[in-house]
Amino acid sequence: MTVSESAPDLGRTTWAIAEGYIPGQSHGPAPEMESHEAACMLNVGPREAHVAITIYFEDREPAGPYPVVVPPRRTLHLRFNELTDPEPIPRDTGYASVIRSDAPIVIQHTRLDSRQAENALLSTIAYPGPQ
């Protein structure tokens, strides 16, 4: 039994991350210590996962979808501050995200905040929607 056959359905096709914030300032050498917000995606299945990210704001209509591909048997640590098409995500602004995929994936949300001299970390498994 290969790795890809052993867990073809691990994960969900819809995920939500209600917290989002990209600080405008960083301390420390880039890119390792640049403030960033990431969605870590894992696709253990045998097919490419075609992912669409929608960004929600407090005072305007949603942005997106931002298309992303996660290859089979791969992880993708996507930094929200690298999303530019259809538009960059504004800094120092609260947002939230919904992530949809055509194949099951697992998503974990992580933030490195280096606005002050020492960095801070947060992480949580995202909210899994219905199958």
Residues that bind a copy of itself (CB under 8 A): 3, 6-7, 9-11, 14, 16-21, 28, 32-33, 38, 40-42, 44, 54, 56-59, 61-62, 64, 73-77, 92, 94-96, 98, 100, 106-111, 113, 115-130
Name the minimum Å distance from CB 84 to a copy of itself: 19
Nearer to a copy of itself, 84 or 93 (CB): 93
CB atoms within 10 A of CB 42: 19
Nearer to a copy of itself, 58 or 85 (CB): 58
Q: Which residues contact 127 (CB under 8 A, 6 or more apart)?
A: 15, 16, 17, 18
Backbone phi and psi for residue 6, each to the nearest 5 degrees, phi listed first: -80, -20
CB atoms within 10 A of CB 79: 15
